[in-house]
Structure formats: structure tokens, C-alpha cells
Amino acid sequence: MQNGILPLWKEKGMTSHDCVFKLRKILKMKRIGHTGTLDPSVEGVLPICLGESTKVAEYLTNAGKEYVAEVTIGSSTTTEDADGEVVEVNNIFKEFSREHIESVLTSLTGVIEQTPPMYSAVKVNGKKLYEYARQGLIIERPSREVTIYEMELLSEESSFSGEQVTFRIRVACSKGTYIRTLAVQIGETLGYPAHMSKLVRTASGSFTEADCLTLGQVQEKVESGTLTDKLFPLDYALHDMPKVEVPQSMEKSIQNGQVLEANDELRQHERVVFTNNGQAVAVYINHPTKVGKMKPEKMFSWEIEEE
């Protein structure tokens, strides 16, 4: 069975679940998980966890993302992207200077509030929002804070004009950001209805397009027996967490997942990765109820060498 992280380039027309289904057939294994949903109309970086690496999928899901999006000013849709039905059109002639659009992007950079779109997988009262939307229902959704780390205007024009105005932006953001909602917010700030007309995820955590394989390339690598060369180790998902080599006196305790005493240095960190010969064997977090203690959050397979 393969183990590791496979950066996949998800092509348009497939759901993230479709990718997992196809990979299970190609790799002839069941233990596969993706690290964040991409809509069928979106292409881009989708890290896939294989085997033991499925244990670290949540860390990759929680990592920051980067996108290139096309924003269209002048019309809005039910889904906030190009797949939905048009609900509002404003065809008056519009003209924006480059500086005006850049100032709007700056105003929406940092911690902002977003209300998830009705056509999304966010759950309210145990039911996904898109299930309400398909019944024609619009319900109150809780707003949430997300972080826009960077937003850059990629289109090179000095001014943008027309009845419908489009431009491309690059967005680096936190988990949970809806780029289509961000497109709507850009339109609102400019004073017009808007939607996201195209989207590509260019990075997920530290993975970029250069790291990725398409499903077709994965098939070729499997047939040639070279897929392992393109897999990243489980530890890659833990690269930004502090590492502590397991002392011999604690080996059995950590392997058995026991609660540990935490010194002052360990307590300073939200998570600590214990390693054995440089390989991750467990992730520990501060105990929620026992002061000065740490408990395991993730345990990975490892063998203790007997003397």
C-alpha cells in the first residue's frame, strides 16, 4: 500500500470526491482522503493523502490557500460564480481606474467578515446550505471571520471600462475563505453586482502546481512503478510545527499514547511533533483539563528498536 501525500492537479468537471474515487481504482487502495473541496468548475492544487498520511489530512486542510480568480463586475448570480442563474444585471457603462480597484482590494485585505453563500457545504441545523438552496429556501447564515493575507491585481490595464468589467486577481487567504463571496464583496465596494467568473487554486499550503500530477500522469507513474518518487512524506504536513526528538526514557509512553508531563518550553506551543530518528511518530497538544500535561492528538506507526 502506498503511503504519503500526493499533490494532485484537479481538472475541471470533477468534484474532489470524484478524484478520490478514481484514485482508489488507479492505486487499488481504499485509504485515500482529499484535503479540501474544490467545486467542479474549479481546477487546481488538491493534496491527496494516502494510507497512513490520511491522519494528517486536517493539517493540510487547515493550511492557507492561494488562488487566481477572475472577477466580473455588472452581474450577480445565485451561486456567486458563473455556474449560477443570473439574478441582477447592471449594464450601465462603468469605468474604474487601476488605482481605484487596487484601493478596494487593499480595503478587503486582512481580517474580514464573510457570510457563506447559500450554495455551499456549510451546515446550519445539521443540514448543508446547498440542500436548503435546492429547495428554494434562503435561511439566515452565521457570518465568520477569514483572513486575506494578500490580494493583487494581475490584469495589467491602467483602466477598466464597459457594461461588464472583468479583471484577474491573486488571493492568498486562510482556510474557509470563499473567493466567490470575495468577488461579490469587491463588487459591493465598487457599487455594483458582481460574481466570480473563473477560479484556479494555485497553491495549497506549501504545494504548488509544479508539485502536482494530473490523474492521467498518476496512472502513467503507477504503470511505470515510479509514483513513489512523486509522493511527499507524511512529515511534510507537519513542517511548521516544533519538533522534539523522543528521549529513550519516554519511548514506550509515547508509543502507547500516554498523557505526558509538559515542561515550560513545550507548553508554549499549541502542538508539538515528537520524532524518532527524525521521523514523526506523534503529535501532542496541551491537555484541555490537566494543567501541565500533554495528550496525543495524532499517533503514527513506528517501531522501537529493542536493545
Predicted TM-score (pTM) of the model is 0.88
Q: Are 143 and 115 in contact (CB under 8 A)?
A: yes
Burial of 23 (0-12, 13-18, 19+ CB in 10 A): buried
240 is catalytic: no
List CB contacts of 151: < 8 A, sequence separation 6 or more: 105, 106, 108, 109, 169, 170, 171, 172
Q: Are 33 and 23 in contact (CB under 8 A)?
A: no
Return d(Cα 196, Cα 164) in angstroms, integer.
13
Within this chain, do residues 77 and 87 fall inside the same structural domain, yes or no? yes
Within this chain, do residues 247 and 229 fall inside the same structural domain, yes or no? no
Residue 305 in any domain: the answer is no
Question: What 8-state DSSP symbol labels residue 100?
Answer: H
**Number of separate helices (H) and strands (E) present in the chain:** 8, 20
Please identify which of the residues 18, 39, 81, 211 carries the catalytic annotation.
39
Within this chain, do residues 50 and 74 fall inside the same structural domain, yes or no? no
pLDDT by residue for the chain (307 residues), tens only, comes to 688 999 999 999 999 999 999 999 999 999 999 998 888 999 999 999 999 999 999 999 999 999 999 999 999 998 899 998 899 999 999 999 999 999 999 999 999 999 877 666 667 777 777 776 677 767 777 889 999 999 999 999 999 999 999 999 999 999 989 999 999 999 999 999 999 999 999 999 999 999 999 999 999 999 999 999 999 999 999 988 999 898 888 888 998 899 988 877 777 888 899 998 888 999 999 888 888 889 999 999 875 554 4
Within this chain, do residues 13 and 95 fall inside the same structural domain, yes or no? no
Q: Are 108 and 189 in contact (CB under 8 A)?
A: yes
Question: What 8-state DSSP symbol labels residue 188?
Answer: H
Within this chain, do residues 34 and 93 fall inside the same structural domain, yes or no? no
Query: For the chain, how many structural domains are there in total?
Result: 3
In DSSP notation, 8-45 reads EEEPTT--HHHHHHHHHHHHT-S-EEESS---TT-EEE
What's the CATH code of the domain at 255? 2.30.130.10
Residue 304 in any domain: the answer is no
Within this chain, do residues 143 and 197 fall inside the same structural domain, yes or no? yes
Domain that holds residue 191: 65-204
